[in-house]
Chains A and B, each alone.
Chain A
Amino acid sequence: MSQDAIGLTELQQDAFTELVNIGVSRAAASLRTMIGTQVLLSVPSVEIVSRKAAARLIGEREAAPLVVVHQDFEGAFAGRALLIFPQENGRELVRAVAGEELSPDEVAALEDEALAETGNIILNGCLATMANMLQRTLTMSLPGIQRGDGPRIFGTEAGDADSLVLFLYIDFSVSERDIRGYLAMLMDLPSLESLRALVDEFIARALGDLDA
């Protein structure tokens, strides 16, 4: 992990990782409630990479086409949050959420709707919790669905390849189901800057609280 340290100190990175951990835990709890089986999640690792690198990271890991649930957020910091699945995993997730007895046709019909719904729960849960921890509020747009490969998802085709992406690996491993996902947050530099300031505040608070 070398290219991830752009502008973040180790402590900031740790703090951010914990923020994501909190957010994702919430999201996983919601997911667990929805699916009813165990959802294992790994402690996320956080990297800040260029869009190009993010596209490559995804491309390397996923040969299959991807499906993405995205939501834009605005507030103290702004950007776009992406929940990325291999397309097959997306279907599996729909099945897990909507019911095992669905026929493939039904799954296909329901897919986008169910994915948007599930993605919203995960992303919203995650972002809202993070914002809450940072003592700020965010407004979230409605979720959208997108399909394609890494470059398409990260908009590297449309230029802008060097802007930064906060890249989070989170394994949502739903036991006995081949489901995994990645979380990514696309932010421009000013947004990342304000996020950094908020993280510093969070650090101060976190350390202070415990001393009290």
Chain B
Amino acid sequence: MSGPDETGRIGAEALAAAVAATRHRAGAFLAGLEHSRQPMLISDPRLPDNPVVFANQAFLTLVGYEAAEVVGKNCRFLQGPETDPGAIAAIREGLRAERVVRVTILNYRRDGSRFWNQLLICPIRDEDGRLVNYFASQVDMSHVHEAEAGRTRLADIERRLAEAQRQLSLTLSSAGIAGTWDWDIQAKRLHVDGRFAALTGLTPAPRPGTVPLAPGPLPASAFFTGIHPLDRMRVRLAVSGILGGAEVFDKEYRLLASDGSVRWVHARGRCHFGADGRPARFTGVLVEVTEQKRVEERLRIAQSAGRVGAFEHVPGFATVAASPQFCSLLGLVSARTVAASAVNALVVEGDPPLLAPDQRQEGELPPIETRVRLADSGEVRWLVRRGEAIRDTETSGLRHVGVIYDVTESKRAEVALRELNDTLEARVREAVAERERAEEQLRQSQKMEAVGQLTGGIAHDFNNLLTGIVGSLDLMQTRINEGRTQNLTRYAGLAMASAQRAAALTHRLLAFSRRQPLEARPVDANRLVSSMDDLMRRTLGERVQLEVVVAGGLWLTLCDPNQLENAILNLAINARDAMPEGGRLTIETANAHLDDAYAARDIGVRAGQYVCVSVTDTGTGMPPDVIARAFDPFFTTKPLGQGTGLGLSMIYGFAKQSEGNVKIYSEAGQGTSVKLYLPRYHGEIEVGTEERGEAPRAERGETVLVVEDDSTVRALVVEVLHELGYRTLEAADGPAGLRLLQSASHIDLLVTDVGLPGLNGRQLADQARLVRPQLKVLFMTGYAENATFGNGHLGVGMQMITKPFPVEGLATKIRSIIEG
């Protein structure tokens, strides 16, 4: 804003002259200018900066200045910070070109208030056409201008409103909320809302985004506007029904738009009756369902293709709205409504009902699988029902909407599969049982085989025992016949001892076949091991050297002695099998303390005092992976039919059962040691007595050397020889016999057992012949030791007698050899 104090710059005289000149030029009009209600002023462009030289009262009133403050100034003092520079430039340009300027410009009054100035500036020329003055008039256009701005704002608001409305109408139409009608039957007038009018084409389609306007009252026939010709009759009939007194109007029909497009609508209405009972008003809602129709159509196709039946049921209502497919799935005649009870009556008793009116909660209906007996054929089929309980907008009650479909085939498949699985299981069980039977048989047969293996040794023992028994009895008989009845008890005792040992052997055999009940007793392991000596030697064969190392002061242990014996025997057999080329087997007993550290390493082992029996061989040994599995039942590395793989597992079981432990220490190629720990028993052992008969000695005739590891047999043979008048020498094993043979002793005959530990009878004879080439030999053999003799041909001076033999037979044999 320029201040009025600039006046000073213009020369006062020049100004006064200019003012006077202007007044003069206005002449008679001056009074008119001065008193006009129209603000006006005049400037003089010939003075510097084109100052005001005249301003009327209306102008001064408009702008709030005194005349003195205005005259001599350029008019720009009216301008302010928000004055549009463009407008100012327009004025400047107009003035420069000396033409009329029209502009509306924002000006400021003296008090700072603003107004819109509709300004007109007009150049004034003298007779010669020279520019002498500018005339200007100002009109306050604020009211107009403010309105203009308001309009702009309004337009803006309207635009936003329209957008909102468009959104709203989109929302409304997608929500299916649609046109409504109200037909005044008495007055024959139809009132519809904008959407009804727009839908039916009663009014042109509204601009997108705007809300269609409701038309005024229409003639009643307007209700049928836009209805597709093919549906018009139907709708008319239905309407005439309403006019005739029907209450419910519920129709779907097509609308045909002027552009030829077809839309589906669903009209639902109701007749309201007047006080006189006559139809008074017919109101309802028209909803566009084109998209829904399409969806429905697709759904219908999908449902019938997928054999899906649809239903709608309001719990508590007796009927169900059903699709044709629904009826056909139940074997019902196709109908739109069926009785709920009839549907549920088809359900097989005990299965869940298809329609569950007690489901009173919104949300998914629990899917069910149920069997129904078809109404037409009586066939039973599996159906699945799925659905939802929906809040009904009309009644605000719940509506069950759902589908059913047939799953009989998949059910059948399922059942078949299950049956298959069941039978599969049964078949597997059977197969397993069969395998177990087979395994049991195998085990049994292998056990028998093992028994068979043992039979060699055992038969040998048995024959020895029988020989002892038979021989003793024979002698007794002879003596009785001869009337020499003294000493008879001795022979009876010998026979008895042999019989008892035979009994013990039988017992052991039974133990081996595990027919022996478990019986834990205090056991002296040393004695047990020693008593097994014979059996062991037989079992191990001649190639294996047996060493028994018994600890002095060995504690007693508590276990089943038969089982322990069995365990040791099994370990010995394992050891023998690990030494096919022979080796050394050591059976050792010892007292042992298992400490906490040991116990911690082995689950189920308690720290404490134990009796340890270890069986050690110099055989093949075991690699770690075999050790790891050696205790597993059926684990064997032996060829099929030779090992059951049960030996160690039984030993393990026995050890654990006896609250002891068993451990393998082995290295491949180095040998194996199996240590069996049995708990210490604090107590006394019942002492049993065992009697052994002494062989009698008598001297007469030739000298016979008897080598026999079985002392009874040896004693018996010696006795027989005495009876026959021979002198005898005895040896319990090969080496001892050989020592005698290599000595200077006179020996006429060697009577030797074949199966001898260390050096067998044949080897003994052969070595003896080296020093006594004429030595006569009688072999006594029990069990198939004939192999020792190759093809069975014996050398000169050698004979064989098979155990058991009668005394008579032995005497004859001996006599014939000595004499031969």
Inter-chain CA distance A60–B241, complex, in Å, is 31
Inter-chain CA distance A61–B221, complex, in Å, is 42
Query: What is the minimal beta-carbon distance from B329 to any residue of chain A, in angstroms?
Result: 14
Pick from B241, B318, B332: contact of A18, CB below 8 A: B241
CB-based contact B318/A62 at 8 Å: no
Say yes or no: A209-B245 contact (C-beta < 8 A), given A11-B233, A60-B332: no
CB of A131 closer than 8 Å to a CB of B:
no
CB of A28 closer than 8 Å to a CB of B:
yes
- Residues on the A chain within 8 Å of B247, using CB: 21, 25, 28-29, 41
CB of B237 closer than 8 Å to a CB of A:
yes
CB-based contact A60/B375 at 8 Å: yes
CB-based contact A43/B250 at 8 Å: yes
Pick from A45, A56, A175: contact of B336, CB below 8 A: A45
Query: What is the minimal beta-carbon distance from A143 to any residue of chain B, in angstroms?
Result: 22
Query: What is the minimal beta-carbon distance from B210 to any residue of chain A, in angstroms?
Result: 32
Contact with A along B223-265 (1 / 0, CB 8 A): 0100000000110111111011111101000000000000000
Inter-chain CA distance A64–B341, complex, in Å, is 9
CB-based contact B342/A210 at 8 Å: no
CB-based contact B317/A173 at 8 Å: yes
Pick from A45, A173, A210: contact of B236, CB below 8 A: A210
- Residues on the A chain within 8 Å of B316, using CB: 175-176, 178
Closest A residue to B248 by CB, please name it.
A43
Contact with A along B329-349 (1 / 0, CB 8 A): 000111111110110010000
CB of B273 closer than 8 Å to a CB of A:
yes
Say yes or no: A179-B248 contact (C-beta < 8 A), given A60-B333, A203-B237: no
CB of A119 closer than 8 Å to a CB of B:
no
Closest A residue to B375 by CB, please name it.
A60
Inter-chain CA distance A45–B338, complex, in Å, is 12
- Residues on the B chain within 8 Å of A189, using CB: none
Contact with B along A5-36 (1 / 0, CB 8 A): 00000010011001101101110110000000
Most buried by B among A57, A63, A86: A63
Inter-chain CA distance A43–B336, complex, in Å, is 11
- Residues on the A chain within 8 Å of B342, using CB: 60-63
- Residues on the A chain within 8 Å of B649, using CB: none
Inter-chain CA distance A88–B420, complex, in Å, is 48
CB of A95 closer than 8 Å to a CB of B:
no
CB of A180 closer than 8 Å to a CB of B:
yes
- Residues on the B chain within 8 Å of A175, using CB: 316
Query: What is the minimal beta-carbon distance from A47 to any residue of chain B, in angstroms?
Result: 8
Most buried by A among B277, B334, B342: B342
Closest B residue to A42 by CB, please name it.
B337
CB-based contact A210/B224 at 8 Å: yes
- Residues on the A chain within 8 Å of B220, using CB: 210
Inter-chain CA distance A9–B244, complex, in Å, is 22
CB of A53 closer than 8 Å to a CB of B:
yes
Chain A, range 119-146, C-beta contacts under 8 Å to B: 129, 133
Chain B, range 488-513, C-beta contacts under 8 Å to A: none
- Residues on the A chain within 8 Å of B338, using CB: 60-61
Inter-chain CA distance A211–B333, complex, in Å, is 40
Most buried by A among B244, B314, B339, B341: B244
Inter-chain CA distance A171–B241, complex, in Å, is 18
CB of A89 closer than 8 Å to a CB of B:
yes
Pick from B221, B245, B334, B341: contact of A210, CB below 8 A: B221
- Residues on the B chain within 8 Å of A40, using CB: 317
Query: What is the minimal beta-carbon distance from A83 to any residue of chain B, in angstroms?
Result: 15
CB of A102 closer than 8 Å to a CB of B:
no
Say yes or no: A207-B233 contact (C-beta < 8 A), given A1-B334, A60-B375: yes
Closest B residue to A176 by CB, please name it.
B316
Say yes or no: A62-B339 contact (C-beta < 8 A), given A22-B241, A56-B333, A171-B319: yes
Interface size class of A (residues with CB under 8 A): 35 or more
- Residues on the A chain within 8 Å of B345, using CB: 63
CB-based contact A63/B238 at 8 Å: no
- Residues on the B chain within 8 Å of A64, using CB: 341
Inter-chain CA distance A41–B236, complex, in Å, is 21
Inter-chain CA distance A58–B336, complex, in Å, is 14
- Residues on the B chain within 8 Å of A18, using CB: 237-238, 240-241, 244, 246
Count of residues in B whose CB is under 8 Å from the partner chain: 38
Chief secondary structure at chain B's binding surface: mixed
- Residues on the B chain within 8 Å of A108, using CB: none
- Residues on the B chain within 8 Å of A15, using CB: 237
Chain B, range 299-323, C-beta contacts under 8 Å to A: 314, 316-319
CB-based contact A22/B244 at 8 Å: yes
Inter-chain CA distance A133–B242, complex, in Å, is 11
Closest B residue to A209 by CB, please name it.
B240
CB-based contact B238/A14 at 8 Å: yes
CB-based contact B317/A207 at 8 Å: no
Chain A, range 69-107, C-beta contacts under 8 Å to B: 86, 89
CB of B807 closer than 8 Å to a CB of A:
no
CB of A197 closer than 8 Å to a CB of B:
no
CB-based contact A63/B224 at 8 Å: no
CB of B271 closer than 8 Å to a CB of A:
yes
Contact with B along A158-192 (1 / 0, CB 8 A): 00000000000101010110111000000000000
Inter-chain CA distance A191–B248, complex, in Å, is 28
Pick from B233, B318, B375: contact of A171, CB below 8 A: B318
Contact with B along A43-60 (1 / 0, CB 8 A): 101000000010011001
CB-based contact A53/B333 at 8 Å: yes
Inter-chain CA distance A8–B375, complex, in Å, is 28
Inter-chain CA distance A28–B248, complex, in Å, is 11
CB-based contact B237/A22 at 8 Å: no
Say yes or no: A61-B339 contact (C-beta < 8 A), given A21-B246, A89-B318, A175-B316: yes
- Residues on the B chain within 8 Å of A133, using CB: 244-245
- Residues on the A chain within 8 Å of B241, using CB: 18-19, 21-22, 206
Pick from B245, B250, B318: contact of A25, CB below 8 A: B245
Most buried by B among A22, A129, A133, A205: A22
CB-based contact B245/A63 at 8 Å: no
Say yes or no: A25-B240 contact (C-beta < 8 A), given A169-B335, A171-B318: no
- Residues on the B chain within 8 Å of A211, using CB: 221
- Residues on the B chain within 8 Å of A53, using CB: 333
Query: What is the minimal beta-carbon distance from A95 to any residue of chain B, in angstroms?
Result: 15
CB-based contact B318/A180 at 8 Å: yes
Pick from A45, A60, A176: contact of B337, CB below 8 A: A45
Inter-chain CA distance A22–B244, complex, in Å, is 7
CB-based contact A171/B317 at 8 Å: yes
Inter-chain CA distance A178–B313, complex, in Å, is 13
Closest B residue to A22 by CB, please name it.
B246
CB-based contact B236/A180 at 8 Å: no
Query: What is the minimal beta-carbon distance from A64 to any residue of chain B, in angstroms?
Result: 7
Pick from B221, B271, B273, B341: contact of A62, CB below 8 A: B341
Q: List 19 A-B contacts (CB under 8 A).
A: A1-B335, A11-B237, A14-B233, A14-B234, A21-B247, A22-B244, A25-B247, A25-B271, A42-B319, A61-B338, A169-B335, A171-B318, A171-B319, A175-B316, A180-B318, A203-B233, A205-B240, A206-B237, A206-B244
Chain B residues proximal to chain A, CB less than 8 Å? 220-221, 224, 233-234, 236-241, 243-248, 250, 271, 273, 277, 314, 316-319, 332-339, 341-342, 345, 375
- In the complex, the 5 A-B pairs of residues with the closest C-beta atoms, listed nearest first: A18-B241, A25-B247, A180-B318, A206-B240, A21-B246
Beyond A86-B339, A169-B336, A171-B318, 7 additional pairs, beta carbon < 8 A? A2-B334, A45-B337, A53-B333, A56-B333, A60-B333, A61-B338, A61-B339
Chain A residues proximal to chain B, CB less than 8 Å? 1-2, 11, 14-15, 18-19, 21-22, 24-26, 28-29, 40-43, 45, 53, 56-57, 60-64, 86, 89, 129, 133, 169, 171, 173, 175-176, 178-180, 203, 205-207, 209-211
